[in-house]
Amino acid sequence: MTPALTNAVKILVRQKISNRKTMNTKQAVSNRIKELCEDRNISVNAVAYISGMPTSTVQCMLNTKSKNPGIVNIKKLCDGFGITLGEFFSTPEFDALEQEIK
């Protein structure tokens, strides 16, 4: 994919996200992991392996079965992706999350 096409796709994805009903944090984490895998053209198994995590743990995070994905696991994934925690969470999707405590 060319950089221009990649940016266009990201804009469309963000527009779809902004049109969705309220999203929770677990869904946002799952979507971000999927986005990073797609951007890097790697499978869930591959990211689990390079992050030193069991595939089942990553799958639970993707399926939002994990009650709390945990910052340590997210940090391990970030290390595998070669990004910082700040880069992981620096998306319009996370910025648009509503308060979890109500």
The whole-angstrom separation of Cα 41 and Cα 82 is 14
pLDDT the model gives residue 24? 87
Mean pLDDT of 4-28: 66
Query: What does the pLDDT look like over 70-89, one tens digit per residue?
Result: 999 999 999 999 999 999 99
Greater confidence, 98 or 48? 48
Q: What is the pTM of this model?
A: 0.75
**pLDDT tens-digit readout, 20-64:** 556 789 999 999 999 999 999 999 999 999 999 999 999 999 997
Number of neighbours of residue 47 by Cβ within 10 angstroms: 20
